[in-house]
Structure formats: C-alpha cells, structure tokens
Structure 1
Amino acid sequence: MNIKDHIRSIPDFPKPGILFYDISTLLAHAEAWKDAVGQLADAVKPYKPDVLVGIESRGFLVAAPLALTLGLGFVMIRKRGKLPGDIITHNYDLEYGSDTIEIQADAIKPGARVVVCDDLLATGGTMVAAINLLRSVGAEVVAAQFLIELAFLKGAEKLDVPVNSLVSYES
C-alpha cells in the first residue's frame, strides 16, 4: 500500500507558503493506518528497543500503537507543565524562538534502549532536543522513527542516530 496516497497536503497552513502534510486522513483509514503501523514495526524491530518514546503530540499517535504492536512500553515527552510528578526539563532553541520539553524523572531506566518517534521530521530541532533529554536521563537512543520526512530540509543530518521514515518528500 502506498502510504503517501493517504496523506493530505494542505497549502498555506498554518501560514502562507507552508505546505502542511496532514496525517488525519491516514489515521481515518483503518486499513492504511494498520499497514503503516506494520511498516513502522518492521523498521523498528532491528533496533531491539526496550521502550518507545513519543514527542507531543502527534508523536504519541505514532509511538503508542507501535509500542502496543511490538509489546513495548510507551513514554511521553511533553511540553512544559503537562506532566505530573518529578520531571526533567530541557530547553532548546528553534529557528523561530525557543521551547521546553519534559519527561518524567522515572520514565526511563538508565541504559534502556530507546527509539524516539514523531510524525514528521523537518529541520530536526525538536528531535535533537528529545534525544539530548533522553540521554540526560541515561537512555541509549538507538534510532529515530518518523511517518514523514521532509528530506529537502535536511533534518536527518542534525541527528546522530539512524533515521527511518515511512514516507519522504523531496521538495
């Protein structure tokens, strides 16, 4: 099945000049979504992760069903103030400002093999921050997994782990 056939492109969203790749059409098509999760599982299995991590919020849509399919736990990286209990915070800069992500302090056991998941890889800034946050709590980040990669933005070049993408756009 060609997963690209189930991803809708919306021009000028969220602002003029941006082409938004909408995964809601993929999620709404049960057969295509099941096939996509199966393809993601096949890509992740060789890394033998102990746990999958999803980045808020669409990364949760990738990591949670994938973790369930693989029989693994799922951990969330969220924006500031969204997680209860003791948390570890990481501040980082983006092209348009700065942001903060957090993880619960006890979510990852030191030495755990982790694959980090998100819906889309663009410039790579958020994924770099997530990898740094995970390493700060003792995780061994073994790969980054995406549904979509905007290859022309060269985000994968910023990552020091293997990058897997189900769908890639070259322009």
Structure 2
Amino acid sequence: MQILWINIIMDGPPAQSLGVEKVDKDVMNRPPRKRGDAVLTRTVLSRVMTSAAIIMTGTMLVYRHEMLSDGEVSRRDTTMTFTCFVLFDMFNALSCRSESKSILRGEIGLFSNVLFNWAVALSLVGQLLVIYFPWLQEVFQTEALGFFDLVRLVVLCSTVFWADEFRKYWKYSRRRIGGGYSQAV
C-alpha cells in the first residue's frame, strides 16, 4: 500500500503541477539545442543521479538507524522510512521547479506556482493522515511519529533541496565571474 501511495498520491500531483511552472524568461536567450543532441545530457543525468543518490542514501540510513534500535522490523521502522522517502520526494519536487533558477536567491518565488503549492500541501496533509489517523494506520501499517522524529526527517530530507541549491549557486557564481568554458567558442 505504501508503494502505491508514493507512486499515485505523492509523485503524481506535484509532478503534474510542475507542468504549469512559469516559462523561464531567459529561455529565448539560449542557443537552440542541436537536432542530434540527446535529450538526456550529461548535466541532466548528473543532476538526476545526484538527487537519487542523496534520496537513496538518506532513506537507507533512516531505515538502518531504526532497525539497529531493536533489531526487528517494526511499524515505526517502516513509518520512518516511508515518511522519509515521501519528504525527500517533496523536497526534490521543490528543487525541480527550475534547472538553473534558485529559490533562495529569489529567482523563483517560493509561492509563485499556486498549483504546485497546493499539490505539495495536500500531499503532506495526506501523509500526516496516513501516519496519525487510526483507520489509515491500519491500512498502511504505520504508527504515529513524535514531533522530533518529524523534525529530524525534515532536516535530513531537505538535504536534496540544499544540494541542488548549492549546485545552482555554484553554476551561477561561475557564470558571474566568467568561469568555465565559453559556449561561443
């Protein structure tokens, strides 16, 4: 049930709402992609693999930490792991709003895509219901988490967002000071 929840409820609405993100104002200033160029460039693959590695490592660390506490797979272990993955998914969706524009630098307004904000908010409310509503706890085999459990998960899961913001900042600072290779050559 948890996998269906992640695939249908957690991935679907936020991903679909990214489709109505405002078009980048600088899109027409960039040279067109060559006809034979691959859609999945080295840069795109690197970004995907980095976020996947962060999500996978973080989720496995939470699962391992929870398992080591008592050596048995409990509802708490799976709830922490399940919620960890969902939160990573939400932070990753936030990062995916733009390939190059930073939320922290104000290049994209945090609340500028209303549909995205609603999708994420409703997904998070749904996750809280799955964790705290007794009937849904039975269906999804979850248990209530403490406040500090959620705080720890938010801090850990936000690393996928911070890593991508750092990448955007690094790319921006190299472009600003004239670093890197010129595409005009």
Q: Say which structure is richer in helix.
A: 2
Q: Tell me which structure has the larger Cα radius of gyration.
A: 2
Q: Say which structure is richer in strand.
A: 1
